[in-house]
Amino acid sequence: MNNFFIVANRDKDKGNEITNKIKEYLIENGKKCSIGDEIHPNGKGKYHYTDGDLIQDDVDCLIVLGGDGTIIQAVRDFCKKSIPILGVNLGTLGYLAEIDKNTIISALDSLINDNYYIDERMMLSGKVIRDGKVVYEDVALNDIILSRYGTLSVININIYIDSEFIHEYTADGVIVSSPTGSTAYNLSAGGPIVMPDASLFVLTPICPHTINARSIILPENVTIELEVAQNHRNTSKNIGANFDGDSPFQLKIGDKIRICRSNQKAKLIRLSKISFLEAISKKMIN
């Protein structure tokens, strides 16, 4: 790798201390390195940290400094470029980043010497359909969620698989997760952990008002629709569609979120051969 681009969460890298350290080291070793400005933080605007359309086509690697949230947003900002991403964990848990600020230099040496491999992850594509028209669309690495907010009332959600009605949930919401997202909200909601290199969906209800609701595992080639069902509990002011935890897009009665596998893939750089099960075990224990 010869050309690097750094995306940093400024709240976690105060004064650009780590960002500048990385850039200086790469330049000292004869490599090119640019730094992306943090623009429109907190989910405002069409991108989160850096406009992916402005990055040069010859960039070999994105180095992302922050926590899992920063890495996820960078994946979404740059997914159309298909550039491998190395995550540096400056947060807390850090499922997606295997290195931290204490192992940066050795990691940079591995990249310089092309001693790494790329882990490709499935992504989700979602569209909000209202009166037969697409009114919002986006991609997600972890999950797409239909849920309530701002009120404690449960909502009714119809589930369709390839246009066939499957079930109606009365719940706080429904999560459609990728394998990567299985260790996120899906896990907290009681859903299963899935190997990240799998190609499938996990559909998990959030606090369902029933004793027999379970997660459903679905193949990658289906289309899932979550419909806000007509019910006296449902209002157009407290239901939203969330893509990887972004601010909710407000939904109305009858709206559907149509979800399928995205044509885009996340490319995460790995430097060690530690197994997913071993890594997840360590994270859970810690």
Q: Any idea where the domains of the chain sit in the sequence?
A: 3-116+271-285, 123-263
pLDDT of 49: 66
- pLDDT exceeds 80 at position 156: yes
CA distance 17 to 35: 13
Read off the pLDDT of each residue in 105-111 and give the average, rounded to a whole number: 95
Residue pair 123/141 in contact by the 8 Å Cβ criterion = yes
Long-range contacts of range 206-215, CB-CB < 8 Å, 24 or more positions apart? Answer: 206/145, 206/147, 206/171, 206/172, 206/173, 206/174, 206/175, 207/154, 207/171, 207/172, 208/169, 208/170, 208/171, 209/154, 209/170, 209/171, 210/170, 213/169, 213/171, 215/186, 215/190, 215/191
- pLDDT exceeds 80 at position 141: yes
The region of weakest confidence among 84-93, 212-221, 274-283 is 274-283
The region of weakest confidence among 19-23, 47-51, 79-83, 148-152 is 47-51
The region of weakest confidence among 47-56, 174-183, 250-259 is 47-56
- Residues 86-100 pLDDT 10s: 999 997 767 788 898
Read off the pLDDT of each residue in 190-212 and give the average, rounded to a whole number: 93
* Residues belonging to the active site: 68
pLDDT of 237: 65
Q: Average model confidence (pLDDT) for the chain?
A: 88
Q: State the sign of the Cα–Cα–Cα–Cα dihedral 239, 245, 246, 247.
A: positive
Which CATH code, of 3.30.420.40, 3.40.630.10, 3.30.300.130, 3.40.50.10330, is assigned to 3-116+271-285?
Answer: 3.40.50.10330
Q: What is the pTM of this model?
A: 0.90
Which comes out higher in pLDDT, residue 124 or 231? 124
Percent share of the chain, pLDDT over 90: 65
> Exposed, middle or buried: residue 107 (CB in 10 Å: 0-12, 13-18, 19+)?
buried
pLDDT of 234: 55
The region of weakest confidence among 5-9, 190-194, 244-248, 272-276 is 272-276
The domain defined by 123-263 folds into: Tumour Suppressor Smad4 (2.60.200)
Structure tokens of 61?
């690697």
Which comes out higher in pLDDT, residue 85 or 246? 85
Residue pair 128/241 in contact by the 8 Å Cβ criterion = yes
pLDDT of 55: 83
Decide if 3-116+271-285 and 123-263 have a common fold: no
- pLDDT exceeds 90 at position 262: yes
